[in-house]
Amino acid sequence: MNSFIKFSAIITACAAFLFSAHTETAFAADGDSLQLAPMTPAPLELGRGVNVLGYDPIWNNFEQRRFKAEYFTKIKEAGFDHLRLNIHPFRHQLGADEGYRMKDEWYQTLDWIVDNALRNDLKIILDLHEYNAMSEDPEGNRERFLSFWRQMSDKFTSYSNRVVFELLNEPHDKLDAKLWNVYAKDALAVIREKNPERPVIIGATQWNSINLLHTLELPADDPNILVTVHYYKPMRFTHQGASWVGEELRNTSGVTWGTDEEKAAVVKDFEEARKWGVDNNRIVYLGEFGAYDKAPTESRVTYTDYVCRTCEKMGWSWGYWQFDSDFIVFDVKNDKWVEPILGALIPNSPVLK
């Protein structure tokens, strides 16, 4: 047995133990309690999830939405347990003189989404996706940031823990580890005034780097913090041909994925993060992963499946990037699942033929 196989065997054995110990609470259908175990990071507390609605016209005009009400049901039926809702609220806030209050129409849209998610037995993460604005000008956006969380905190006080807050997607640039720790602490304090036990997700700087968890300073006396990581390594594979990355990657194509060495790199990253989670008594959540549509399909499927299974072996919940727009798992135009990707995420999904 080579060392990688041996390593995988150890991980599989640990995972079998974790699943046997926690499956009941992980998928408890009791509805209201997202049971957070303060002592041992419990697997799949959020279960299987998908990122939704970040780039949907719904936010500017409800009538022009791509996301239909029936999708909540379809997502549930496919085997997902939660949604990670990507929110860009700054453009929907009133001015400083009005305390950056969110506009009424925005609340109507948010209510439609949250109510539909909960009605369909999907937990929902409110992910503040203003990562570029916040990272480029933290000080200039500080009040907007804190005001947003104050308003969410007020609004969701009486909601169950099935509504989860995520402080900020992928801090980077000026929000380096030192400054991000200050911003996260301040936002958490605002939330804790009225939501002392709501699950709050926080990730490290450098786009929620899986390798920088040690830079996070989290209050030891708050057990209801989950720690998120994003995984797109190697970028040369997952972001080949993407328009929003550097020139070299933008012009890269035909990169495949799936050698033993590449798989071992995933296991190494995940295993280090798992160890950090155990040592620091934190549940780890993989909030984004996937490979852009321009990568070769077969490798995308292999990669998605491998990252997802490795994540589950660690005992973590996950959220795939994303439902619609790009990296898609659902084809809105043709109103059907992208079966190879769905199958890679949820191999036994009831909606797969």
Return residues touching ligand BGC (CB under 6 A): 54, 129, 169-170, 288, 321, 326
* Dist CA 222 CA 155 (whole Å): 21
Cβ proximity to ligand BGC: between 257 and 321 the closer is: 321
Name the token pair of 140. Answer: 């200039």
CB of 215 to ligand BGC, least distance (A): 19
The minimum distance between CB 170 and ligand BGC, in angstroms, equals 5
Nearer to ligand BGC, 43 or 287 (CB): 287
Closest to ligand BGC by CB, 166 or 288: 288
Cβ at position 156, least distance to ligand BGC in Å: 23
313, two tokens? 């072996």
Gap between the Cα atoms of 235 and 249, Å rounded: 8
Q: Which of 233, 219, 228, 172 lies closest to 191, judged by CA?
A: 219
C-alpha to C-alpha distances, 226 to 34, 166, 202, nearest whole angstrom: 12, 9, 6
3-state SS class at 311: helix
CB of 72 to ligand BGC, least distance (A): 21
The residue type of 326 is D
Residue 321 CB, nearest approach to ligand BGC (Å): 6
Q: Which residues contact 193 (CB under 8 A, 6 or more apart)?
A: 153
Element (H, E) at 240: none
Measured distance CA(165)–CA(168) in Å, rounded = 9
Q: Tell the smallest beta-carbon distance from residue 235 to ligand BGC (Å).
A: 9
3-state class (DSSP) for residue 319: strand
- Min CB(36)–ligand BGC separation in Å: 25
Measured from the CB atom, the residue of 65 and 129 that comes closer to ligand BGC is: 129
Q: What's the CA dihedral at 8, 11, 15, 18 to 10 degrees? A: 170
Do the beta carbons of residue 234 and residue 256 sit within 8 Å?
A: no
Count of CB atoms situated within 10 Å of the CB of 77? 12
- What is the nearest approach in angstroms of ligand BGC to the Cβ of residue 51? 8
Instruction: Output 48 or 239, the one with its CB closest to ligand BGC.
Output: 239
Q: Would you give the distance in Å from CA 234 to the centre of its chain?
A: 19
Q: How many C-beta neighbours within 10 Å does residue 322 have? A: 21
